[in-house]
Structure 1
Amino acid sequence: MTGSEEPPSFRLAYVPGVTPDKWVRIWNERLPDVPLALTQVSAAEAGATLLDGDADAGLVRLPVDRTVLSAIPLYTETTVVVIPKDHLVTAADEVSVEDLADEIVLHPLDDVLGWERPPGRPALERPATTADAVELVAAGIGVLVVPLSLARLHHRKDLTYRTVTDAPGSAVALSWPEDAHTDLVEEFIGIVRGRTVNSSRGRRPAPGQSKDERPGTAAARRKPGAKKPAGGKQTGGTRRGTAKGGNPRGGTAKGGRRGKPRGR
């Protein structure tokens, strides 16, 4: 590597509520020579961050523009309603959208649930962010319906939450630009999908090692010194028990064909 070349690195964007710690830890164990840089972006900005080249891949919320971005769905979050601890809704373990019909349901501008029509009664104004909406819930102005991870992210001692059984869920995916599917992106895909360290797919060859020589490939399994004929099959000499004429029983009949048995 010359002085003008930069060492390899991997930039991962992630949206609020997503916790990439486990995958980052595995990355650092498997690729200690490739630093992984984390960048938190809003759900609305995630697609532009990837397309602008500010991150190699991202843990984002669906949907994304599938004409320019690839995406592997990972999981769909449970949706909950955030409420004060003394709210009547706390009497139940879970609620439905209909149970919120008489409530003022805050609908922040950074909402990620994609409601066609939010439940309950609308507030006079939409809060700018989910964090702002949580503050309003604490002030007794309304309730907030969000993915579970965001309820935990903005946890307050005076608030709690209950599952909303029929609300839309928020799907989280690993995404990257379609025209930038690099070896490092493939490495991270393998980690997220749970591939083992010995998996040949997505593994980078060691310095001076071709892709065909990685563990688990045909070239790596080929015995040293074995010849590879033009037809592509490995040979190491004459098959055991095969005679010169090619008959596995040790010979051929006259003319190269096995004759009919003579009658007695």
Structure 2
Amino acid sequence: MMTIAGSDSGGGAGIQADMRTFALLGLHGLVAVTAVTVQNSLGVKGFHEVPLDVIAGQIAAVASDIGLQAAKTGMLASSEIIATVAASWREQGLAGAVPLVVDPVCASMHGDPLLHPDAVEALKRDLFPLATVITPNLDEVRLLVGIDVVDEETQRAAARALHALGPQWVLVKGGHLRSSARSTDLLFDGAEFREFDTERIDTGHDHGAGDTLAAAIACALAHGYSVPDAVAFGKRWVTECLRAAYPLGQGHGPVSPLFRLHR
């Protein structure tokens, strides 16, 4: 099980969050680090991109030896990194053979940019056609297709526009739609809409929620779930992680899969 993402020095999101979920869902985690961020609970202070040959080398090294059952992407930082990941995915024979969950990370929860502006087009052009499912939040939807999701109708319009970019499935997350008392995510395969609805957890500690959801979906796919069942599982998982979130530092604490250890 692989994460292709950035490192979070504060340990709340990125590959650190992914690896926690991988381990607690019974999967050995593999890593291709794309960037090293300088961040804490208050925000991202900067980041350094990993050289392209090192990113490609990490993917090739584990794919050629250990093998992958599924993977997810997170922070990819630049159009060059996105193109490198997409090319590596094809060169290793993974396209169409291994489920790929693309979390199109554009900014941190504090609004700090984690993706260069010119890289949005690269995401759509190079990576979305390789994706089993993409998992944008509403801010990312606005950047990707220019639709401001405010209700069910605009959420469906966004799902249609995103699906036209090439992924097999689109999950438009509704967690940022604060006008609703419920958190409703919408899954679309080009023909049928499916809604996944849960109570909204009232917490200020939700750092890493998007990473954790995508990681849980990828883990479920690795275990052989269908995409709808994997999304349903991921939704339940991240809801419990939000319920178990804890304070850390002076800002937003992380969601926590550690609840699993007590059950």
TM-score after normalising by structure 1: 0.21
TM-score (norm 2): 0.21
Kindly indicate which of the two structures has a greater share of residues assigned to helix: 2
Report the structure number with the largest CA radius of gyration. 1
